[in-house]
Structure 1
Amino acid sequence: MRRLLFSTAILLASPALAERIETTARVTDVTVYPWGAGVTREAALDLPAGAHELVIPGIPQGIDPASLRIVAQGAVIGATGFQQERALPQAPAKSPQLRAAEDEVRRLQATLGERDAGVAEIKARAEAAKDTIAFLMNLAESDLAGGGDIATLTRTVAEQLLQARQTAIRAGLEAAAADVGREDLAEELARAEARLEALRGPQSERGALVVAVQGQGQPARIRITSLTDQARWEPVYDLSLQRREGRLRLDRGLLVRQDSGEDWQDVHLLLSTARPMGQSAPSELQPDFPRLGDAEAKHYRRSAQPLVAEAAMDAAERAAPAPVAASALVGLVGETVVYDYPTPVTLRGGADALRLPLDSHEMTAKVVAEAVPRRDDSAYLVADTVNTTGAAILPGDATFYADGAMVGRGALERTAPGDDMKLGFGPLSGITLERRVPDEIEGDRGLIAKSSERRETAILTVRNLTDEDWPLRVIDRVPVSTQKDLRIDWSADPDPAETDPDGKRGLLVWNATIPAKEERAITLTTTLRWPEGQVLIGGD
């Protein structure tokens, strides 16, 4: 049994002794990741029994040779070579569409060439007539000067001049008529050439697979999988808010790009959140062994080469994770989401950014006018909602619509099912904001206290210039002390409804309704005290 297996291995690993068969492998399935893609090709052929060398040209050189995997039904796969720099001559089969486009370009080129040749012939007759006129004029002058029969010569020259001029006029008219429509024909040719260029696909360098196979005298199906890093996908979102109804629609889509060096025609497409091109295991830390020594030895070590090597190793460890595109879907630890697109997809290399609709979800929203007077001069339309899609919302670009009008673009963060979401839908120019500081005092409180003080009183004013009442949320902040010697006190009128929301220390939130054509004011006083002789650093 061992001898039989050994002989079979030698047979399959010796393609030079086998019959060469050339075939093509069409891309049938593609799995696109946030960075990279897995590409599957299939070749079907009648494979006679015995050893053969199977040549599959047209393989893009951008694939990772180490990722090549080949399986077969109806055959046994042996040694596989991926030829790149010195690939075997390739004659990839042309599709019927490509052949038809080539025939159309050739037809239009011939038609345009015949038209131009006909116009050139007519113009040549006109030029010949002009040359005849010049010749007759010169001839008449020379004969008249010689004293010949003036009357006869005059009649002859006049008749021939008339004929030549008539010929020139007719030729000019014929040339103008023949030239009509040339511009339309040239535009049609340009469109046909553009279509042909699009069908030809990217003109990149291609390689060839050379596979040793053992045929079994039956139809064989060869399946080839490989990885390329020249593809990616990212989620995109449209969020449409119906303000008065309190409804929010989330439309999810997938934006796919690839520059693999070939076109993917009518392929089965999967979009996966896995990252096979990136880091697959946690980073590894090395032991750290600090040592004690005198000051000179420490100084010497800090300036010596071992320190440089240590720093380089630390930098390498920090850089160990493979780079992931900015659109990578992060945060799905321990799980992979796969979107199986239901219809075949065509994606041309380096040419298409394909947006695929995924699904839509209706959510309820609480609409408020959110005001941040410290930073903005108008309130913003904000929708508070909850992720009720039943799945995580992945990071991606988003376009926001309010009552049918686009109001801005932004990005969504990863949001787990059931988590709260706060979405902004543009400024409300009819609700204006102002933050004034009429009273600010800084100085000593006296020699007894031995301390310094800073007090600020701010007036936050919100004016509703619209004709409707608005639910209002006002946000401001007070400083937070992280030192026991710095004492901070504050007071507000009215009191805020919430302090330190979501653990954000120092933030204050007021909730109210502001009627139409009215204003609301908030007074916020902050006092900072610190010991005498020290200086306050930071703060607005």
Structure 2
Amino acid sequence: METPLRPQTLAFAAASTSFRNSSILTIVSLPALLAAAPAFAASFEVASKIDAVTVYPDAASVIRHASIELPAGTHTLVFRGLPMNLDPASLRIEGESDGKLSIGSVESRIAPADNAQADSAIAEQLRKLRNDRDIKQTMIDTLNAKRDMISRYAQASPEKLGGDSAPLEIDKWNAAWDVVGGAMGKINEELRVARNDLRDLDDKIKTVENSTRAPDNRTRPLREVTVELEAGSALKGRMLLTYRVNGASWRPIYDAQLTTDAKGGKASLDLVRRALISQRTGEDWKGVTLSVSTARVNRGTRAPDMQTQRLAFWEPPVIMSRSAAPAPPRAKLNAPVQAEAQQSSDEARFKKAEEVESNLETGAFEAAFRVPGRIDIQGDGGQRALRIGSKTVAADVLIRTTPALDQSAYLDVSFVNEDEAPLLPGEVALQRDGAFVGRGQFNLIAQGETTRLGFGVDDRVKVSRVPVRRRENEPSWLGSTKLEMREFRTIVKNLHDFPVKVSVIDQMPISENSAIVIEQLAATTPPTDKIVEDRRGVMGWTFDLAPTASKEIKLAYRMKWPADRAVAFETVPNPPGQSSQPMR
């Protein structure tokens, strides 16, 4: 019959059990352990392996597993070779065993670099390289001697080459030359290869010798963690060490594939979500269970405090003599009115093979994607993209044009994010009917929000915008009013053999000065949207356009201002959170 378990936790340690007839790890203080322990504590260096990693946008949480087999008594477990940038405050130790085991203190310390071991390894490498060089040099010397012997043979008189010192018959001279030439060619080729090998060995020796003088290539200090344990009896178990490290991150990237209907039917949008992961934590993650989370663990945990702001009359600085005492520091003013406090802001910053997809786990305040199987992520900073989600959504297709800036018609697609997880800010690779058309950008899109993407130019919708009239008056007396009237005509023509929905965006200037008056004239085609996306002066006309049909839109307005004043057009920034989707 199994013993009932009672879970106990502490700020730095937690315990659980899964062994038959097992006892829960009791967590006690180190002084209590030392009081009940024998006169000495045995120290064990445990071999641990990274089992699971959760990557955040600005850090990573690592879980190491280590199997233990301990006799009864007090022991110190040592985890060596941990990364230097480990956060000691994040250390947590848990365990499970088939006997009574108590966890005491957990300590992190810096282990000095073992440069002696590094020097020994370099010396051994140099010894092998120099030995190989001596062997290669001996081979070259032997080949040179052999070549000299062949050269002396080739210089001998013909009468000395025959048997019994008789002259060599003339008809055999060609064969003798062939033998000498072939031997010399073979020796020269062997010498060429050997000399190249010798140069390569010299380069390797030089590189290794230089590495001994480069401080960056020396062994760097690491961290080690010690855990105090007390075993009530001989037992077997497993320890779990959890810690957080900087130097790891992930960011979302997306693939958006638009599939249209040649007859103008409903279009569909396949949206693939990927995580681009990189890490330089000082250790490789090999065969780990990997998750990516949207939580930001290195951000602040509370809203900033608002300070009192005072409005006062600006006073020019008082110039003081060098002997006078310096004035107390004052807040710097860029204008008569003190600049408003800056608010902190974080920018989040073939036959197809089936891709493995992550499982989404959502909580009240974050979403995590768990990648199936075991993953390898090297610690060299290389980027690895993993597919973490995909979905096919219904897409609303619209032909959108802004002819005052670009007389082209663009395919504009909008959809609603129905996923439980938000779409984080990231780059989107755009494909339309299998062809790559450019890249866009997502802002943060929460569940239920609508966003749009541009999928390039539609060459079968023609747009033209021309000025129809521009009239100005010339004031003839002082204090009169300057008046200017402008009128534009935009024509949109559908060359498709199916109807399309079109949105034309245009603008007329606005005034924030009562002396400047701007009026929309009756010749203007009434817009369907008088204000587009809360942008004053920006208006839109949305309409359905039949095959081969065209639509004319007029925009006319009048501007008035005092004749003795000059005016200029200024661009007003878009409201926060509203930006166009860039295409490159």
- TM-score (structure 2 length as normaliser): 0.68
Partner of 1:481: 511
1:522 aligned onto 2:548: no
Match among 240, 248, 256 for residue 239 of structure 1 = 256
Amino acid at match of 1:273: T
| Residue identity in the other structure for 2:104 | I
Q: 2:222 aligned with 1:207, yes or no?
A: yes
- Counterpart of 2:303 in structure 1 is 282
Which residue is 1:368 aligned to? Answer: 398
Distance 2:56 2:76 in 1: 33
Task: Choose from 48, 70, 77 the match for 1:47.
Answer: 70
1:28 maps to 2:51: yes
| Rounded Cα–Cα distance in structure 1 between residues aligned with 2:347 and 2:63 | 23
In 1: Cα distance, 2:66 partner to 2:165 partner? 85
CA deviation profile, 1:177-232 (whole Å, cap 9, x unmatched): 9999xx9xxxxxxxxxxxxxxxxxx9973524141423413124222222222111
Contact in 2 for aligned 1:463/1:518 (Cα 8 Å): yes
Whichever residue aligns with residue 228 of structure 2, its letter is: V
Q: Deviations over 1:144-203 (max 9, x none)?
A: 9xxxxx9964538999997797376368569979999xx9xxxxxxxxxxxxxxxxxx99
8 Å CA contact 2:495, 2:547 repeated in 1:
yes
Q: Which amino acid aligns with 1:80?
A: E
Find the partner of 2:148 among 111, 128, 131: 131
* Change beyond 3 A, Cα 1:342–1:89: farther
Q: Which residue of 2 aligns with 1:97?
A: none
Post-superposition CA distance 1:271-315 (Å, at most 9, x none): 22211111111112344567789x5787879x944126999xx99
Relative distance call for 1:539 and 1:259 in structure 2 (3 A) is closer
Contact 2:154 2:180 in 1 (8 A): no
2-structure distance, mates of 1:525, 1:137: 103
| 1:431 alignment partner, one of 455, 461, 470 | 461
Deviations 1:298-344 (A, max 9, x none): 7879x944126999xx99x959x6x96753xxxx9972222233322
Letter in 2 for 1:207: L
Pair 1:448–1:54, CA change in 2 (3 A)? closer
Give the 3-state SS of the residue equivalent to 1:434 in structure 2.
Answer: strand
The answer to whether the Cα contact below 8 Å between 2:143 and 2:187 also exists between their aligned partners in 1 is no
Q: Of the two structures, which has the highest relative contact order with CA contacts closer than 8 Å and spacing of 6 or more?
A: 1
Matched position secondary structure for 1:46: strand
Contact 1:129 1:168 in 2 (8 A): no
Mapping 1:10-29, distance limit 5 Å: 10=34, 18-29=41-52
RMSD: 4.7
1:408 aligned residue: 438
* Preserved contact between residue 51 and residue 212 of structure 1 (Cα < 8 Å): no
CA contact (8 A) 2:60 2:245 kept: yes
Q: Distance in 2 between matches of 1:241 and 1:137?
A: 79
3-state DSSP of counterpart to 1:24: coil
Q: 1:534 to 1:227 in 2, by over 3 A?
A: same
Mean Cα deviation higher: 263-272 or 427-436: 427-436
Matched with 2:490 is: 460
2:94 equivalent to 1:82: no
Q: Give the structure 2 partner of residue 99 of structure 1.
A: none
Q: Distance in 2 between matches of 1:54 and 1:269?
A: 26
Change (3 A) 1:203 1:497: farther
1:65 aligns with 2:81: no
CA–CA distance in structure 2, aligned partners of residues 227 and 35 of structure 1: 11
Q: CA deviation at 1:80?
A: 1.5
SS in 1 for 2:281: coil
User: In 2, distance between residues paired with 1:359 and 1:163?
Assistant: 77
SS of the aligned residue for 2:536 comes to coil
Matches of 1:136 and 1:366, distance apart in 2: 91
Corresponding position: 1:349 with 2:373 = no
Partners of 1:31 and 1:443 in 2: how far apart?
A: 70
Query: For residues 245 and 509 of structure 2, what CA distance do their matches in structure 1 show?
Result: 52
SS at match of 1:422: strand
Task: Name whichever structure is richer in helix by fraction.
Answer: 1
Shift of the 290–425 alpha-carbon distance from structure 1 to 2, 3 Å rule, reads closer
Q: Please report the TM-score for the alignment, with normalisation by the length of structure 1.
A: 0.73
The letter for the 1-side match of 2:290 is: L
Aligned length: 477
Distance 1:310 1:19 in 2: 66
**Counterpart in 2 of 1:169?**
182
SS at match of 2:93: strand
Q: 2:285 aligns with which of 264, 284, 292?
A: 264
1:13–1:89: structure 2 CA closer, same or farther, 3 Å change rule? farther
Task: Tell me if 1:227 matches 2:241.
Answer: no
Q: Distance in 2 between matches of 1:171 and 1:23?
A: 62
Q: Which amino acid aligns with 2:560?
A: R
1:511 lines up with 2:528 in the alignment: no
Determine the C-alpha separation between the residues in 1 that align with 2:66 and 2:333: 52
Q: Are the aligned partners of 2:367 and 2:421 in contact in 1 as well (CA < 8 Å)?
A: no
Question: CA contact under 8 A between 1:77 and 1:211: conserved in structure 2?
Answer: no
CA distance in 1, matches of 2:363, 2:533: 24
Q: After superposing the two structures, state which structure 1 stretch, 29-38 or 453-462, moved more.
A: 453-462
The residue aligned with 1:395 is 425
Judged with a 3 Å threshold, the aligned counterparts in structure 2 of structure 1 residues 525 and 14 are, in CA distance, closer, same or farther, namely farther
* Cα displacement string for residues 428-452 of structure 1 (whole angstroms, at most 9, x for unaligned residues): 2333433322422233467699322
CA contact (8 A) 2:479 2:564 kept: no
Give the AA of the match of 1:340: R
Q: Percent identity?
A: 24
> Which whole-Å CA distance do the structure 1 matches of 2:37 and 2:561 have between them?
84
Q: Note closer, same or farther for the CA distance 1:299–1:222 as it changes in structure 2 (3 Å cut).
A: farther
Runs of 5+ consecutive residues of structure 2 not aligned to the other structure: 1-27, 119-124, 197-216, 350-361, 572-584
The aligned counterpart of 1:102 is none
CA distance in 2, matches of 1:310, 1:10: 62
Q: What CA distance in whole angstroms lies between the structure 2 residues aligned with 1:435 and 1:13?
A: 90
Q: Distance in 1 between matches of 2:456 and 2:395?
A: 16
1:386 deviates by: 2.4
Whether contact under 8 Å (1:12, 1:77) holds in the other structure is no
Aligned to 1:8: 32
1:481 Cα deviation from its structure 2 partner: 2.4
2:236 corresponds to which letter in structure 1? P
1:301-320 mapped onto 2 (5 Å cutoff): 304-307=327-330
2:431 is matched by which residue type in structure 1? Y
Note if contact 1:126-1:169 (Cα within 8 Å) is conserved in structure 2. Answer: no
**CA pair 338-172 structure 1, distance change in 2 beyond 3 A:** same
**TM-aligned CA deviation for residue 527 of structure 1:** 0.4
Counterpart position of 2:500: 470
- 2-side partners of 1:45 and 1:175: how far apart? 63
User: In the alignment, what sits opposite 2:272?
Assistant: 251
SS of the aligned residue for 1:335 comes to coil
CA distance in 1, matches of 2:538, 2:35: 76
